[in-house]
Amino acid sequence: SEDIDAFHESFGLHLMREKPIREHFPMEEQEREARRAGLSPDEQRELDEEARRNLRASCVQYLNLIKAEGSGDVHVHVHLPYLDGNDAEWYKREDEVWKSRERQDLTPLLTELERVYLPPDGDADSA
């Protein structure tokens, strides 16, 4: 059994396993406006500051993950949901089948990437 050092700089990266993809990207403008509706100016400012803190924390978390992989402390494998069901303990499998992209649903990732990289009107050539 391996001891876990709660004071190691890479401690906590395991929490990313259950973090939804959309939490790694900035909030959409429509969602931001919907959340701000009915709030006082102080509450709106607080909401905006919280969104900035969350985005910064996500970026730092990602950079720490890259650093930990580079130092050999962790091995990173991005896994998307399965197409054929939900295996909550997929990461415990002994075989390598869970690394195959064939059974993974790319839709959650592609949806977020399209939102970030494609303009809202769908015209990518007019910039």
More confident residue, 22 or 118: 118
pLDDT in tens, 57-74: 888 888 888 888 888 887
pLDDT on residue 79: 72
**Pair 21, 112: CB distance under 8 Å:** yes
Query: 43: left (phi > 0), else alpha (psi -120 to 50), else beta?
Result: alpha
For residues 7 and 71, give the distance between their C-alpha atoms in angstroms, rounded to a whole number: 16
Q: pTM above the 0.75 mark?
A: no
Nearest alpha carbon to residue 64 among 3, 5, 16, 18: 16
pLDDT on residue 123: 62
pLDDT in tens, 64-121: 888 888 888 877 777 777 776 666 666 666 666 666 777 788 888 888 788 878 877 6
More confident residue, 15 or 110: 110
pLDDT on residue 11: 75
3-state helix, strand, coil in the chain (%, to 5): 55, 0, 45
For residues 17 and 42, give the distance between their C-alpha atoms in angstroms, rounded to a whole number: 34
More confident residue, 42 or 120: 42
Structure tokens at 120: 């809202």
The residue assigned the tokens 């939804």 is 20
pLDDT on residue 1: 40
